[in-house]
Amino acid sequence: MDTKRKKELLEAYKNRHPEMGVISYRCRESGEVFLGISKDTKSGFNSNNMKLAANWHPNKRLQELWNKYGSEGFELSVIKVLKYDDPHEDHTAKLESLREQCLAADPNARRIWR
């Protein structure tokens, strides 16, 4: 791959607008919901799924349910998407606010991360 093409791809990556939002893991059997925030929802799911599959997720209750029911026992979804313009701006506070709204709306929900 030539240098020009590498620069183009790097620039496109730096300026991409990944989907940011609140991700949800809902256990179909127990009804428990685990909410997290992610600056890239696709990567957020991949990271959590890898930790759960490896049996080293920091949320012990989520890990326990995952071990018992497997991936097919969960419904994964993005429940709130953050609209934003600047991908370089820190959106953490806005994402946390969205998650708090979701936690308030669902009595069965809790944070993925403490």
- For 14, the token pair is 């730096």
Q: Which CATH superfamily is domain 19-111 in?
A: GIY-YIG endonuclease (3.40.1440.10)
Q: How far apart are CA 69 and CA 29, in angstroms?
A: 8
**Ranges in the chain, pLDDT < 50:** none
pTM of the predicted protein model: 0.88
| pLDDT of 45 | 98
| pLDDT of 18 | 94
Helix (H, G, I), strand (E, B) or coil at 43: helix
Burial track 29-47 (b if 16+ CB lie within 10 A, e otherwise): eeebbbbbbbbebeebbee
DSSP letter for each residue of 6-21: HHHHHHHHHT----EE
- Measured at the CA of 15, the angle between CA 11 and CA 21, to 5 degrees, comes to 150
Domain ranges for the chain, please list them. Answer: 19-111
